[in-house]
Structure 1
C-alpha cells in the first residue's frame, strides 16, 4: 500500500514513486492506520510519558496525538536520510506530511 510506495524512493533516493490508480485510497488507509495507532497509544498514555514514533510508517502519529493532547511529548525518528527535495516534491501527499511530522517535539 501507501507505506510500500514510499519505502523505495525514500531508501534508495532514486526518484521512483509507486503509482497506482488507488493512491488516494491507500493514503486514506495509511492515515486511518495512524489514527488507530494514536487511539491505542492515547488509551495507554500516562502523564509524563514520552511517545517515540519510528520511521515513515508513523508520520501522522505526532499530529494525531497532539490533536488530542498538546502536552503529550512526542519524538519522531527516521532511520534513513530524509528524501532530497527532488524526491520529496514528487510525493502527492507531501503537504500533509510536512504539516504532520513537525508536530513532534523532537525530530
Structure 2
C-alpha cells in the first residue's frame, strides 16, 4: 500500500453545517479515537458540545459507525474517492438530565376511612 492509501483525509460536518477539519488519519484509527478528536477540537463558541465519546454518533455513507471499528473498515467504495476528502456527519446526543423531584411531594396517597 502506498502512503496515500494508508491515510484518509476526513472532515467532520456538524449539524449547523460547519466543519471540523479536514485532517489526515491512518486507516487503522478507531472510530472512538475520531470521536475523542472531535471532542478536543469542538469549537468553544458552540454550546451543547459533546463531553464523552458516548455523546457522539458518527455517520458515513448513511451508516452509524461503531466505536470498535477502524476507519479502514468503515470505508465505502462508492463514496470514498482516492485522494478526496471523506465527510463524516456528527450528531451530538442531548445530555440526559434527570428531573429533580421534591422530596416533600409523595407519589403515595393514604385514604382514611
Structure 1 or 2, whichever has the larger Rg, is 2
Fold shared per TM-score above 0.5: no
**Range of TM-score over shorter length:** under 0.3
TM-score (norm 2): 0.23
TM-score, normalised with respect to structure 1: 0.24
